[in-house]
Amino acid sequence: MRKKMVAGNWKMCGSRCNVDALADAIKKGTKSFSTKIDIVIFPSFVHLQLIENILVDTLVSWGGQNLYLGAQGAFTGEISGPMLVDYGCQYVLVGHSERRIIFHEDLKLIAAKFKTALEYGLKPVLCIGETLAEREQQKTEKVITEQLESVIELAGIDAFRHAVIAYEPVWAIGTGLTATPEQAQEVHAFIRKLLAKHHPDIANTICILYGGSVKADNAAGLFAMPDIDGGLVGGASLEAKSFLAICENALEKAAGSV
């Protein structure tokens, strides 16, 4: 049985003061939670120290929203895997659509970042997903295949034993337009089928999150789908009440499944 996960991607949001309050509320709100679900927070780099101070020795893990290749060097503005590890990160987002589209990260760079994350002991959360135009042109499976195969080719299928995948249709991110549970399930099942061609066991055990306008009122329907193992939450993770409600939905599904 796969474990459910709820992850909060705080993107470029928050100040010292409200990150402190939000992390503290999440710490308090998850105190009574069991280890049946994984909870991960992705704050901005500058708030990692704050998060480490507050969330150390809790059930909540944290990670970086991005990383660059190598351990250190002349790469102004970048941050490395070892730097994230130094601040207690266990995870790192790789290939978020905002990185692919706004910052022009291509398939090759994303695959290299995925491999780099693993080399430094970080669990990459590989984000994949199609744009609205690609969906309308029935290219969803083609796009997903390219985004996955480019990583498998460089890092190898075994690398996925230590990774998480997040299916995030670009048209559902920050738009309030969530994929229906059926639409998301269809793509999640396709992702598992594609991985199964390489390694059936990894396809069965890997955690595949859905992301794109996940809210407290739609999480239950999404998390009930057989191939959806939780959510990568943007906007709704910036408020403790809605983030905790989404976590509770995952917890209910985890409890119901034993």
Token match 């809210």: residue?
215
Whether residue 25 contacts residue 240, with contact meaning beta carbons closer than 8 Å, is answered with yes
Choice from 214, 219, 244, 250 touching ligand 13P (CB under 6 A): 214
CB of 99 to ligand 13P, least distance (A): 10
Residue 232 binds ligand 13P (CB under 6 A): yes
Scanning residues 122 to 181, which ones bind ligand 13P (CB under 6 A)? 168, 173-174
Size of the site for ligand 13P (CB under 6 A): 14
Nearer of residues 233 and 254 to ligand 13P, judged by Cβ: 233
Residue 98: other Cβ atoms inside 10 A:
21
**What's the start-to-end Cα distance of the chain, in Å?**
9
Q: Find the binder of ligand 13P among 110, 235, 249, 254 (CB under 6 A).
A: 235
- Residue selected from 213, 218, 242, 249 as contacting ligand 13P according to rule CB under 6 A: 213
Taking the least distance from each CB to ligand 13P, the nearer of 43 and 234 is 234
Kindly tell me which of 76 and 94 has the beta carbon lying closer to ligand 13P.
94
The distance of closest approach from Cβ of residue 163 to ligand 13P in the complex, given in angstroms and rounded to an integer, is 16
Helices (H), ranges, 80-180 = 81-86, 97-101, 107-119, 132-136, 140-155
Q: Which helix (H) or strand (E) holds 38?
A: strand 37-42
Residue 86: CB atoms within 10 Å: 12
Instruction: Kindly tell me which residue out of 94, 212, 218, 246 binds ligand 13P, with binding defined by CB under 6 A.
Output: 212
Catalytic residues: 96, 168
Give the nearer residue to ligand 13P in terms of CB position, either 30 or 178.
178
Q: Which tokens sit at 221?
A: 């329907």
Return the number of the residue (237 or 257) whose C-beta is nearest ligand 13P.
237
Work out the angle between the directed axes of helices 48-55 and 16-29 (0-180°, nearest 10).
30
Contact call for residue 230 and ligand 13P (CB under 6 A): no
| Per CB under 6 A, 254 contacts ligand 13P | no
Gap between the Cα atoms of 109 and 129, Å rounded: 17
Tokens at residue 119, please?
């080399």
Q: Cβ 201 to ligand 13P, closest distance in Å?
A: 27
Residue count of the chain:
258
Q: Estimate the share of the chain in helix, then strand, then coil, as percent rounded to the nearest 5.
A: 50, 15, 35
Residue with tokens 């070892």: 82
39 binding ligand 13P? (CB under 6 A): no
Judged by CB under 6 A, the stretch of 72-80, 147-155, 226-234, 244-252 that binds ligand 13P is: 226-234
Binding site for ligand 13P (CB under 6 A): 9, 96, 168, 173-174, 211-214, 232-236
